[in-house]
Structure 1
Amino acid sequence: MRFAALVILSMALASCAALPGDGPGAINISSQDIEADSSQNGYSIIRIDRENIDVIKRYRPLAFANEFRGVGSGGSSTLLGVGDTLTVGIWEAAPDGLFSSSDSGSSQIPAVIDETGYIFIPYAGRIRAAGLSVEGLRQSIQNKLIGKAVEPQVLVSLQQKLSKTAVVVGDVAKPGVYPLPLRQTRLLDLVATAGGSREATYETVVTLKRGRRSGTTRMEHLIDYPENNVLVSPNDNILLSHRPRTFSAFGAVKSNQLVPFKTKSVTLAEALATVGGLNDFKADSGGIFLFRYEDSDLVRDIRPELAKHVANEKLVPVVYQLSLRDPNGFFLSRFFEMRDKDILYVSNHPTAEFGKFLQIIAPLISNVSTVQGITE
Structure 2
Amino acid sequence: MRFLSVLAAAGVLFGCSALPGEGPAAINISSQDVETSAQTGDYTVVVVEPSNIDTIKNYRPLAFANQFHGVGSGGSSTLLGVGDTLNVTIWEASPDGLFSSGGGGSSNIPSVVDESGYIFVPYAGRIRAAGLSIEGLRQSVQQKLVGKAVEPQVLISLRDKLSSTAVVVGDVAKPGVYPLPLRNTRLLDLVAQAGGARDATYETVVTLKRGNRAGTTRLEDLIDYPENNVLIAPNDNILLSHRPRTFSAFGALKANQLVPFRTKTVTMAEALATVGGLRDDRADANGVFLFRFEDAALVRKLKPLLADKLTGSQSVPLVYKLSLRDPKGFFMSQKFEMRDKDILFVSNHPTAELGKFLQIIAPLISNYSVVSNLTE
Q: Same fold (TM over 0.5)?
A: yes
| Aligned residue identity for 2:36 | D
1:12 matched residue in structure 2? 10
Distance in 2 of aligned mates of 1:183 and 1:102: 36
Note closer, same or farther for the CA distance 1:128–1:41 as it changes in structure 2 (3 Å cut). closer
| 1:197 positional shift | 0.9
With 318-327 and 39-48 compared, the bigger mean Cα shift is at: 39-48
Structure 1 contact 282–348 (Cα < 8 Å) conserved: yes
Per-residue Cα deviation, 1:96-150 (whole angstroms, up to 9, x for no partner)? 3333334533322111101110111222221111011112112212222222233
Deviation of the 1:12 alpha carbon: 2.5
Q: Amino acid of the residue matched to residue 335 of structure 1?
A: K
Asked if the contact 1:12–1:357 (Cα under 8 Å) also holds between the matched residues in 2, the reply is no
For 2:179 and 2:125, how far apart are their aligned partners in 1?
28
AA matched with 1:63:
A
Query: Deviation per CA, 1:194-216, whole angstroms, max 9, x where unpaired?
Result: 11111111111111111222211
Please name the residue that 1:147 is paired with: 147
Specify the code of the residue in structure 2 equivalent to 1:306: L
Q: Match of 2:281, as an amino acid?
A: F
Asked whether the 8 Å contact 1:123–1:145 carries over to 2, the reply is: yes
Which runs of 5 or more residues in structure 2 are unaligned?
none
Q: Is 2:100 the partner of 1:100?
A: yes
Shift in CA distance, 370/324, structure 1 to aligned 2, threshold 3 Å = same
| Equivalence for 1:258 | 258
CA contact (8 A) 2:171 2:240 kept: yes
Per the TM alignment, residue 348 of structure 1 is displaced from its structure 2 partner at its CA by 0.5
2:300 alignment counterpart: 300
Match in the other structure for 1:310 = 310
Supply the AA of the counterpart residue of 1:116: S
The offset of 1:74, in angstroms, is 3.6
Equivalents in 1 of 2:121, 2:287: separation in Å? 79
Structure 2 counterpart SS, 1:286: strand
Secondary structure of 1:90's match?
Answer: strand
Provide the rounded CA distance (Å) in 2 between the counterparts of 1:341 and 1:75.
Answer: 34
In 2, the alpha carbon distance for the partners of 1:312 and 1:333 equals 30
Task: Determine what percentage of the aligned residue pairs are the same residue.
Answer: 72
Distance, in Å, in 2 between the alignment partners of 1:211 and 1:339 is: 29
The two structures have a TM-score, normalised by structure 2, of: 0.95
8 Å CA contact retained: 2:268, 2:336: yes
Cα root mean square deviation, aligned: 1.7
* Separation in structure 1 between the aligned mates of residue 246 and residue 309 of structure 2, nearest angstrom: 29
Output aligned runs, 1:187-206, within 5 Å. Answer: 187-206=187-206
Secondary structure in structure 2 of the residue aligned to 1:334? helix
Q: Is the 8 A contact 1:25 1:348 kept in 2?
A: yes
Aligned to 1:243: 243
**What TM-score, normalized by structure 1, do the two folds share?**
0.95
Question: 2:63, 2:313 within 8 Å by CA — same for their partners in 1?
Answer: no
Over 3 Å counting, the alpha-carbon distance change for 1:212 and 1:41 in structure 2 is closer
Distance 1:102 1:311, change over 3 A: closer
Q: Is 2:112 the partner of 1:112?
A: yes
* Cross-structure match for 2:36: 37
Q: 1:36 to 1:161 in 2, by over 3 A?
A: closer
Between the aligned partners of 2:146 and 2:190, the Cα distance in structure 1 is 42
Q: Give the Cα separation in 1 of the matches to 2:22 and 2:149.
A: 90
Contact 1:265/1:337, CA 8 A, preserved across alignment: yes
CA distance in 1, matches of 2:33, 2:374: 52
TM superposition shift of 1:91: 2.6
Q: Flag the 1:84–1:35 CA change in 2: closer, same or farther, 3 A.
A: closer
Q: Tell me the CA shift for residue 253 of structure 1.
A: 0.3
Q: What does 1:50-89 align with in structure 2 at a 5 Å threshold?
A: 50-89=50-89
SS in 1 for 2:271: helix
Q: What is the number of residues matched between the two proteins?
A: 373
- Where in structure 1 are there 5+ consecutive unaligned residues? none
- Does the 8 A contact of 1:72 with 1:231 survive in 2? no
- Deviation string 1:213-243 (CA, Å, 9 cap, x unpaired) is 2211111111111111111111111111111
The 8 Å contact of residues 49 and 332 in structure 1, kept in 2 or not, is answered as yes
Q: Is the 8 A contact 1:134 1:156 kept in 2?
A: yes
**Contact 1:90/1:153 (CA < 8 Å) preserved in 2?**
yes
- Residue by residue over 1:297-337, the C-alpha shift from the partner in whole angstroms, topping out at 9 and shown as x without a partner, is 11111110111332245210011111111111111111111
Aligned to 2:11, the other structure's residue is in SS state helix
Q: 1:141 to 1:353 in 2, by over 3 A?
A: same
Mark the CA change 1:98 to 1:343 in structure 2 (over 3 Å): closer, same or farther. same
Displacement of 1:180: 1.1
1:320 aligned partner: 320
Conservation of the 8 A alpha-carbon contact between 1:288 and 1:346: yes
Q: Distance in 2 between matches of 1:73 and 1:301?
A: 31
Deviation of 1:41 (Å): 6.5
User: Aligned residue for 1:357?
Assistant: 357
For the Cα contact (< 8 Å) 2:87–2:110, is it kept in 1?
Answer: yes
Residues of 1 paired with 2:233 and 2:239: CA distance?
15
User: In the alignment, which residue of structure 1 is the partner of 2:340?
Assistant: 340
- Is 1:280 the counterpart of 2:244 in the alignment? no
What is the alpha-carbon distance in structure 1 between the residues aligned to residue 175 and residue 162 of structure 2?
A: 16
Q: Helix, strand or coil for the counterpart of 1:37? A: helix
